[in-house]
């Protein structure tokens, strides 16, 4: 089954919480700073967070990305093409 990668620029999250409302399986709002945490996300050297999701979760995560007012959530397919 196809996989997708989510890349999240946490530093520019404004804590609007739209992502967590739409996809609580993948996003949780931090009690510490009010920003979203990408569940299962690994912090990269550049400070972005990344995780792999199954194709079955793609639609829900895509909706969360599209709802983010500051567009800090990107989704890439297996060929590293941006799909949102």
Residue ranges that bind ligand SF4, judged by CB under 6 A? 13-19, 35-36, 67-70, 72-73
Residue 16 or residue 51: which is nearer to ligand SF4 going by CB? Answer: 16
Neighbours of 60 (CB within 10 A): 15
Q: Hey, is 78 helix, strand or coil?
A: coil
In the beta sheet, which residues pair with residue 5?
A: 52, 76
The CB-of-3 to ligand SF4 minimum distance in angstroms stands at 21
The CB-of-78 to ligand SF4 minimum distance in angstroms stands at 23
Residue 15 or residue 78: which is nearer to ligand SF4 going by CB? Answer: 15
Residue 78: φ, ψ to 5°: -65, -25
């Amino acid at each position: 089954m196809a996989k997708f990668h989510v890349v999240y620029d946490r530093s520019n999250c404004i804590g609007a919480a739209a992502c967590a409302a739409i996809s609580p399986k993948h996003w949780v709002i931090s009690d510490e700073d009010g920003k979203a945490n990408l569940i299962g996300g690994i912090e990269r050297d550049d400070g972005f967070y990344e995780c792999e999701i199954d194709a079955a979760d793609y639609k829900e995560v895509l909706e969360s990305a599209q709802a983010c007012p500051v567009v800090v959530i990107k989704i890439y397919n297996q060929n590293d093409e941006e799909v949102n």
